[in-house]
């Protein structure tokens, strides 16, 4: 029987509390990981928060475009150096470098916008079963007597509920490049939209490449598979509440040359399209399935 996890969400929130060295420089630390590298979603969220802390007006991030350049060292603090590219009447832009040992491990540009009126439309949320009718990742990890499952049970800050079945222990029975899942934080969150949008960036990185894996009959337990995020783009359309259930409607338009592209449209429980995300990742396996 698994011991209850010790506030995994609190650990994430603590990691996102950056130390400020000067107006444009911040330092953050990393959460433990099984694979020995800094989790990409963590450094994305920290870089976004660092950029947001340099804003002098009420502007929220509406898009980020970033590249993962090097694997991060879990034991070394990360310095976030922010460059103020532009402050216009409606938009501001910041470039953030996440640096270890004098070299960037992530380079990202964030665009911020003041609240404005404008045209409004969005694609409708697909019809899927509600999260209450689906298996919980927390319960699954808690029931498995395996060190990897126990790590994620103790440290997973978000509950994931896959509509088509999870890929944690085995490939999907049906090969498809489509996937739907619900996700929600396992506890209360800060109310500010900068923090909420950073938490969405943190959480989404763990599932963005799953449609590629589902299409090619892979799972997170596929032996000798090498998976890593290469670049990441996000657009926030409306306010986000990561403390309530969010539906990820995902697809993979292409995989080729050891790379695959994952796309997600993220909806609130009430059906609003709150964000769109795209990520290309490296996926290498010893033998290409037929």
Contact 232, 68 (CB under 8 A): yes
Is 279 catalytic? The answer is: yes
Give the contacts of 211 (CB within 8 A, at least 6 positions apart).
177, 178, 179, 250, 251, 252, 262, 263
- How many Cα atoms occupy the beta-carbon half-sphere of 263 within 13 Å? 9
d(CA 121, CA 123): 7
Bridge partners, 43 (sequence order): none
Catalytic residue among 42, 229, 249, 268: 229
Beta-bridged to residue 66, according to DSSP, are 108, 232
91-100 vs 158-162, strand pairing mode:
unpaired
Q: Determine whether 205 is an active site residue.
A: yes
Handedness of CA 200, 214, 167, 268 (dihedral sign): positive
The CB-side HSE value for 56 (13 A sphere, CA atoms) comes to: 7
Please, which residues have CB within 8 angstroms of residue 17's CB and are 6 or more apart in sequence?
none
- Are 2 and 142 within 8 A, CB to CB? yes
Tokens of 95: 């470039």
Beta bridge partners of 79: 27, 99
CB 77 within 8 A of CB 251: no
Which residue among 205, 241, 250, 268 is the active-site one? Answer: 205
Catalogue the active-site residues.
Answer: 205, 229, 279
């Amino acid at each position: 029987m698994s011991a209850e996890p010790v506030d995994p969400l609190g650990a994430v929130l603590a990691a996102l509390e950056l130390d400020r060295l000067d107006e444009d420089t911040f330092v953050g630390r990393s959460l433990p990981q099984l694979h020995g590298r800094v989790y990409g979603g963590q450094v994305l969220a920290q870089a976004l928060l660092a950029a947001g802390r340099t804003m002098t007006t009420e502007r929220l991030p509406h898009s980020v475009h970033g590249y993962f350049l090097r694997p991060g060292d879990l034991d070394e603090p990360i310095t976030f150096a922010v460059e103020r590219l532009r402050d216009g009447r409606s938009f501001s832009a910041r470039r953030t470098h996440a640096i270890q040992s004098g070299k960037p491990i992530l380079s990202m540009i964030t665009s911020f916008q003041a609240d404005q009126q404008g045209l409004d439309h969005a694609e409708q949320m697909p019809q899927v079963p509600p999260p209450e009718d689906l298996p919980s990742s927390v319960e699954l990890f808690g029931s498995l007597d395996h060190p990897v499952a126990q790590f994620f049970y103790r440290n997973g800050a978000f509950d994931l509920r896959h509509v088509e079945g999870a890929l944690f222990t085995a490939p999907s029975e049906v090969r498809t490049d489509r996937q739907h899942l619900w996700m929600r934080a396992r506890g209360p969150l800060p109310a500010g939209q900068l923090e909420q949008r950073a938490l969405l960036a943190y959480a989404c990185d763990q599932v963005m490449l799953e449609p590629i894996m589902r299409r090619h009959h892979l799972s997170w337990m596929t032996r000798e598979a090498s998976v890593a995020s290469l670049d990441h783009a996000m657009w926030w359309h409306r306010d986000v509440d990561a403390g309530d259930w969010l539906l990820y409607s995902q697809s993979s338009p292409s995989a080729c040359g050891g790379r695959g592209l994952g796309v997600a449209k993220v909806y609130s429980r009430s059906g609003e399209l709150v964000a769109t995300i795209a990520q290309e990742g490296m996926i290498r396996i010893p033998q290409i399935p037929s």
